């Protein structure tokens, strides 16, 4: 079975490699396999367990208590002295009764015979034997805890929501990184392809130039210039290969696996996005960092309630009963119930100082939340204008490419007619490649700016929706 699973995994990997990797597929893999997201999801589960633990504070505590006790000696009461006093007093009463004629000798003898067994008995009594085995059940039910239980449960609920906000914030941040790494690989592949194209073109021109030099048509300086441009193009090709390798490594890291598939998506741009108020409102209402900061305010408020509850009395009901015993005295009751109240009168003002600290912490949380909200709004506006600028710049670069193509065509015609030197033709080709690469880089900046804008607005999950109206390059 283990080998079958391995084979199926290999087949799935080969199939995925053959199909390529879209951005959506990469996103799903990141959500499933990224180690930071796994840890964040575990944090949500932990917070959920802590909430259930806090909810248990409302329920009674039922405990079983069992033990074995061995004392130095049995607990006894000895009435031997009282027995002797009773015997002497009884005998005096009988003798006195006979002397005054109140009792006859026969009646006195009858009384004596009836009292003899009682006076002859052991007047010692064992209250509790020295060896005791006991099993008991106890129940404690909180009746009034000053509101601390409700505050603790509410604090656990807020902490659970906060862990969910943290998970969402991390997901949004990693989505932005994935956009940068995924489309960074595509940009690096395009740059490598352009560099390879440039190198091949210059090599072809060098071959032609060397042939023309042998025929005496062009000067040797033209050949040297082409060789110089070829060396520059080769260096750029090497740098492009290195950039692609680094981009692949970054993408593999965020996916938590080796990424060697062909990326099927292309860099894109859209002509327009929503108005800034749309993103500003989203940043204020659904950004998980903003919501987490507001949750900290609510959490600090519950902290104040918990600190205040510590100054109030606590009332609990109690009960217990023996369920099993050995050698336990019959004098000891087998069950008991009651109500207890506890009010701490003085503890060095520790509780009062904790309340003051909680109130100040609450005030600080308001200030921090306002600062975070302001910073998020500012970041949203900044990334909005960065996105708009990327759209504008990419549009302007279209005219540069159009000009570079026209210029290259003119130089080619001149070169074919023998008017334009090879060096100018090479420069025209390099200028066109540079313009195309600038447009791709500008569109790549748009993708990154858009991802950062959506992250600031709490809308990272809508990134794919912009592709519906995208222009792919």
User: Is a pLDDT exceeding 50 seen at residue 31?
Assistant: yes
Q: Which is higher by pLDDT, 461 or 94?
A: 461
Q: What is the structure's pLDDT at 82?
A: 66
User: Is a pLDDT exceeding 60 seen at residue 440?
Assistant: yes
Q: Residue range 103-121: average pLDDT?
A: 71
**Where does the pLDDT of residue 30 fall: very low under 50, low under 70, confident under 90, or very high at 90 and above?**
very high
- Share of residues in the chain with pLDDT > 70 (%): 92
User: Is a pLDDT exceeding 50 seen at residue 12?
Assistant: no
Least-confidence region, from 56-70, 86-100, 269-283, 451-465: 86-100
Q: Which is higher by pLDDT, 4 or 203?
A: 203
**Where does the pLDDT of residue 374 fall: very low under 50, low under 70, confident under 90, or very high at 90 and above?**
very high
Q: What is the structure's pLDDT at 5?
A: 43
User: Is a pLDDT exceeding 80 seen at residue 89?
Assistant: no
Least-confidence region, from 152-161, 285-294, 404-413, 444-453: 404-413
Decide: residue 135, CB within 10 A, 0-12 exposed, 13-18 middle, 19+ buried. middle
The domains located in the chain, with CATH, are 19-60+144-311+347-472 (1.20.1600.10)
Q: Residue range 294-320: average pLDDT?
A: 92
Q: Residue range 383-388: average pLDDT?
A: 96
Q: Residue range 186-203: average pLDDT?
A: 92
Q: Residue range 6-14: average pLDDT?
A: 42
Least-confidence region, from 261-265, 360-364, 407-411: 407-411
Q: Residue range 118-126: average pLDDT?
A: 68
Q: What is the structure's pLDDT at 83?
A: 62
User: Is a pLDDT exceeding 90 seen at residue 331?
Assistant: no
User: Is a pLDDT exceeding 60 seen at residue 97?
Assistant: yes
Q: Residue range 92-97: average pLDDT?
A: 73
Q: What is the structure's pLDDT at 120?
A: 65
Q: Residue range 390-413: average pLDDT?
A: 88
Q: Which is higher by pLDDT, 1 or 141?
A: 141
Q: Which is higher by pLDDT, 16 or 104?
A: 104
- Share of residues in the chain with pLDDT > 90 (%): 58
How high does pLDDT run on average in the chain? 87
Q: Residue range 468-472: average pLDDT?
A: 88
Two tokens at 196? 């390879």
Q: What is the structure's pLDDT at 4?
A: 42
Least-confidence region, from 83-87, 144-148, 386-390, 443-447: 83-87
- With a threshold of 0.85, does the pTM exceed it? no
Q: What is the structure's pLDDT at 17?
A: 45
């Amino acid at each position: 079975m283990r080998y079958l699973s391995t084979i199926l995994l290999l087949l799935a990997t080969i199939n995925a490699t053959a199909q390529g990797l879209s951005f959506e597929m990469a996103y799903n893999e990141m959500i499933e396999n990224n180690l930071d997201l796994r840890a964040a999801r575990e944090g949500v589960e932990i917070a959920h367990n802590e909430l259930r633990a806090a909810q248990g504070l409302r329920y009674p505590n039922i405990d079983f208590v069992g033990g074995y006790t061995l004392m130095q000696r049995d607990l006894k009461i000895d009435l031997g002295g009282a027995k002797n006093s009773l015997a002497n007093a009884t005998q005096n009463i009988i003798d006195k009764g006979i002397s005054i004629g109140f009792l006859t000798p026969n009646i006195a003898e009858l009384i004596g015979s009836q009292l003899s067994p009682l006076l002859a008995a052991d007047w010692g009594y064992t209250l509790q034997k020295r060896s005791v085995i006991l099993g008991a059940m106890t129940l404690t039910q909180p009746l009034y805890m000053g509101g601390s239980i409700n505050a603790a449960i509410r604090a656990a609920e807020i902490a659970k929501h906060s862990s969910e906000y943290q998970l969402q914030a991390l997901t949004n941040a990693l989505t932005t990184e994935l956009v940068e790494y995924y489309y960074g690989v595509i940009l690096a592949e395009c740059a490598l392809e352009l560099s390879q194209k440039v190198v091949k073109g210059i090599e072809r021109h060098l071959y032609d130039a060397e042939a023309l030099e042998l025929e005496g048509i062009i000067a040797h300086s033209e050949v040297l210039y082409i060789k110089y441009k070829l060396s520059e193009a080769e260096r750029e090709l090497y740098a492009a290969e290195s950039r692609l390798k680094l981009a692949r490594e970054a993408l593999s890291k965020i996916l938590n696996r080796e990424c060697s598939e062909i990326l099927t998506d292309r860099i894109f741009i859209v002509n327009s996005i929503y108005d800034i108020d749309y993103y500003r409102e989203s940043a204020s209402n659904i950004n998980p960092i903003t919501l987490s900061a507001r949750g900290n305010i609510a959490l600090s408020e519950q902290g104040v309630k918990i600190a205040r509850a510590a100054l109030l009395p606590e009332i609990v009901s109690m009960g217990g009963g023996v369920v099993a015993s050995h050698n336990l005295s019959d004098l000891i009751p087998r069950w008991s119930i009651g109500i207890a109240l506890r009010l701490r009168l003085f503890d060095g003002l520790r509780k009062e100082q904790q309340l003051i600290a909680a109130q100040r912490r609450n005030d600080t949380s308001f200030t921090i939340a306002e600062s975070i909200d302001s910073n998020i709004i500012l970041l949203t506006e900044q990334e909005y204008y960065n996105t708009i600028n990327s759209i504008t710049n990419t549009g302007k670069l279209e005219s540069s490419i159009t000009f570079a193509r026209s210029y290259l065509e003119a130089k080619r015609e001149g070169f074919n007619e023998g008017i334009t030197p090879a060096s100018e033709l090479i420069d025209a080709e390099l200028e066109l490649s540079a313009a195309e690469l600038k447009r791709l880089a500008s569109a790549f900046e748009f993708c990154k700016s858009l991802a950062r804008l959506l992250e600031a607005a709490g809308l990272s999950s809508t990134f794919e929706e912009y592709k519906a109206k995208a222009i792919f390059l």
